[in-house]
Structure 1
Amino acid sequence: MVLLLATSLAASEAAARRVGLLFGSFNPVHVGHLILAEYFATRTDLAEVWLVVSPHNPFKQADDLLPATQRLQLVQLAIAGNPRLRAEDAEFSLPRPSYTSTTLDALRQRHPDLEFVLLMGADNLADLPRWREAVRLVAETDIYVYPRPGTALPDLSALPRVRVVAAPLLDISATFIRESLRAGHSIRYLVPDAVALHIQQNGYWMS
């Protein structure tokens, strides 16, 4: 019994050291992001999920981005009170544009007691060969992949560290939310109330 208990505790401690990283511009953060983060934090072996705010995604234009600190604040408002979710600004002090391999190196150096798992959509997995240091990334890191509407999964036989997780399919985009704001339409239920209020108070994307 003592041995079984010790084994159980050791397994629990190992699981507690696994943290999922959900990268994004979060421009703005919306309920799709939050549902995914909560799903991974509560229905997998991850102890927490960190929403990593990217100052500049190398595959996206930067001209429509709210400043990074303001997007981080929106994420903090969105997840307030949830101990298993965290807004992470690790990329703010790193060279730009932001590369996942660089960010992972920095986080591993800062948190040697944690094991990081990448969380990404099927569309990002398909683009993975284009990422900087993609070969090292897939060799060193577990990757949990969630479905994306209209995107088929590539052949995973050469990617033993990739695990497909049946998270909910949500076809919500930050682009749609920004366009709605510019058109004067409601974004209720697309973002948390605290995020909607902060956006309205500051006039983000309304002109």
Structure 2
Amino acid sequence: MKKVGLYFGTFNPIHVGHLIIANHMAEFSDLDEVWLIITPQSPFKKKKSLLDNHHRYQMVFEATADYPKLKPSKIEFDLPQPNYTVNTLVYLEDEYKTGYQFSLIMGEDNLKSFHKWKNYEVILENYHLYVYPRISDKEIDHQFKDHPKIHKVAAPIIEISSTFIRKQHALGMNIKPMLPDSVWKYMDEMNFYR
């Protein structure tokens, strides 16, 4: 049975913080692989700064090329919109009927709002959550404290955000050290976020 952690995000763009977290989960937990699932651009909510799906997938593909335990995934691109994690999990279970055990990877900040997710009880009943620390002053809901399916992983706290990278890049600041070289090259060649 292959244990796969699902790390969802827009990855707009993917940065070294994402890679550090994904690699930490693949190397220092009981997960065998981490799939980085690129959340599609919603047709109902166009964000000017959100790159097209295929560009974000390409950057994740480039960023993970040297990491055999990290896999880019565009499975949500063809699923009905808007995307709900519970629906993606149902799709994955149907697509990969045997040999896979899926878990979710999320930041502590997402755990604090997890009770607002669609069918969060179903997710928690059927899947494990791997939670990495984030700096936040919100309190974790009591039902998620010491839950047997919620595993806190002592991963590095990375305070880099894609929003910060986009804003600073648009201002002409040097954000290259925050990105994998291949992502920087692709982003620069395509003239993104200027």
Give your verdict on TM over 0.5: yes
Aligned to 2:118: 132
Corresponding residue for residue 92 of structure 1: 77
CA contact (8 A) 2:8 2:37 kept: yes
- How far 1:102 moved relative to its partner? 0.6
Tell me the CA shift for residue 152 of structure 1. 5.2
1:160 Cα deviation (Å)?
2.4
Secondary structure in structure 2 of the residue aligned to 1:189: helix
1:39 match: 24
1:136-195 Cα distance to aligned partner (Å, 9 max, x none)? 011111001111012456133473211111100010000010001111111121001111
2:61 to 76, 93, 109: 76
Contact 1:49 1:85 (8 Å CA) reproduced: yes
Structure 1 stretches of at least 4 aligned residues deviating more than 4 Å after TM superposition = none
Structure showing greater Rg: 1
> Aligned AA for 1:131?
W
Deviation of the 1:98 alpha carbon: 1.2
Q: TM-score, normalised by structure 2?
A: 0.92
CA contact under 8 A between 1:122 and 1:151: conserved in structure 2? no
Cα distance, 1:81 vs structure 2 = 2.2
| 1:184 alignment partner, SS class | coil
Q: Which residues of structure 2 form unaligned runs of 5+?
A: none
Aligned residues: 190
Aligned twin of 1:105: 90
Partner of 1:114: 100
| 21 and 124 in structure 1: CA distance in 2 versus 1, 3 angstrom threshold | same
Residue 147 in structure 1 maps to residue 133 in structure 2: yes
**TM-score, normalising length from structure 1?**
0.87
**Where does structure 1 lack aligned partners over 5 or more consecutive residues?**
1-13
Structure possessing the higher relative contact order (Cα contacts under 8 Å, 6 or more residues apart): 2
CA RMSD of aligned residues (A): 1.8
Aligned-partner SS, 2:178: coil
